[in-house]
Structure 1
């Protein structure tokens, strides 16, 4: 896969202007962006359509966790906006994930990804909600459930990428947030990894946020991330 298409820049902003400034500064250097709940709530769905009209791929990170009918409706809305990826919570079970996959069939470019265990969670966090498994064990369990429901791939930390690739096979998408360059602080991510380590382990995509968007020179930072992908 072309390294340019493997990097998803997270537009984790609370306003549209800041997001558009980064997109404009990166220009042709970046083709794939993540829009999460904060920016979607602040800027509205028009921003997604705007990015798609500029020729960008959009990972719409909705983390859907609702009754199947509501999830299906949200997935159809994401497809109508032109999103390339949309996320659903795997902990919602097979019914929710299958509903999302069925709704996405009307949009050939849209891929449904199942969120497994968010990168900030540890074994202690899982135990608090009654899950007596390590993050890696829970990630693999949920990933197999997602695959059975027909999802196109999963979201997990770089530290689970190798195990996931072994379980899901060569064609599944494995999208990894929690990406930092060597020497950087992982901030809120409990299970981080570098771009190179993630891709070498089997990730199809890496999601990078403040490493690029918070840099004095975002273009130079993106190029560093791209260089780090190389073996």
Structure 2
């Protein structure tokens, strides 16, 4: 199985040309990237092939959530594109998560992509769970439950907020990928549970996704390096 990279840059652009031009213009060619719904639904598999030609590792963030057989077949197709990381919603249940794993193994050419299960989106909070989703359990308990179910199904890791990363690491052997990363003083935008790279490291995150903090910076390459170094700083020091 492939391993997660420490930092994925979210390609939150409307078109493939914008994304590819940004990477080339800012000397970010070859870094691990996340391709989400906006870009993939616009460009389709072509953007994956172009990024692969530029030697990027790719987290294809489509958050599949459907009946098990549909997810199995979809994952088989995604794996054939040689992406490195994919995900599903843990809320889809155990049969769906197991089917996703089977589909990846069927479609993989060489290494099977890392399979992540999304627990609770960082745009959600306790009030939303209770009032809109009718989930009355504490948010942290929901994340823990989803993580343990995912591990049982052979999933490799979860997507969770930094706040819940420690819970996942305590109760499972899963990797924890955490979005909602901001530099100190950065804006939260539409995410409600955010944290700095340092906090992510302290809470046990294995990998991070960062988009706007890099994309909107005056010098994106410097910010990318700063965030990555802040996240890895402790582990670097222990080996020097």
Q: Aligned pair in 2 of structure 1 residues 120, 48: CA closer, same or farther (>3 Å)?
A: same
- Over aligned residues, Cα RMSD in angstroms? 1.5
- Tell me the residue number matched to 1:138: 142
Q: Is the 8 A contact 2:87 2:116 kept in 1?
A: yes
Partners of 1:27 and 1:149 lie apart in 2 by 39
TM-score in terms of structure 1 length: 0.93
- After TM superposition, give the deviation of residue 30 of structure 1 in Å: 5.2
Partners of 1:56 and 1:29 lie apart in 2 by 7
- Tell me the residue number matched to 1:112: 115
Which of residues 162, 165, 189 is equivalent to 2:166?
162
Q: Is the 8 A contact 1:156 1:175 kept in 2?
A: yes
- Identify unmatched segments of 5+ residues in structure 1: none
Partners of 1:198 and 1:189 lie apart in 2 by 15
- Tell me the residue number matched to 1:15: 15
After TM superposition, the runs of 4+ consecutive aligned structure 1 residues lying more than 3 A away are: 25-30
Q: Aligned pair in 2 of structure 1 residues 139, 122: CA closer, same or farther (>3 Å)?
A: same
Which of residues 213, 216, 224 is equivalent to 1:214?
216
Partners of 1:196 and 1:14 lie apart in 2 by 30
Q: Aligned pair in 2 of structure 1 residues 6, 121: CA closer, same or farther (>3 Å)?
A: same
Deviation sequence 1:132-183 (CA, Å, 0-9, x none) = 12221111111111111110110000111111111112xx221100000111
Which of residues 179, 182, 200 is equivalent to 1:180?
182
- Tell me the residue number matched to 1:86: 86
TM-score in terms of structure 2 length: 0.90
Q: Aligned pair in 2 of structure 1 residues 79, 27: CA closer, same or farther (>3 Å)?
A: farther
- Tell me the residue number matched to 2:237: none
Q: Does residue 96 of the first structure (1) align with residue 99 of the second (2)?
A: no
Partners of 2:17 and 2:83 lie apart in 1 by 20
- Tell me the residue number matched to 1:149: 153
- Tell me the residue number matched to 2:51: 51
- Classify the secondary structure of the residue corresponding to 1:185: coil
Deviation sequence 1:113-137 (CA, Å, 0-9, x none) = 0000000101111112110122211
Partners of 1:40 and 1:144 lie apart in 2 by 30
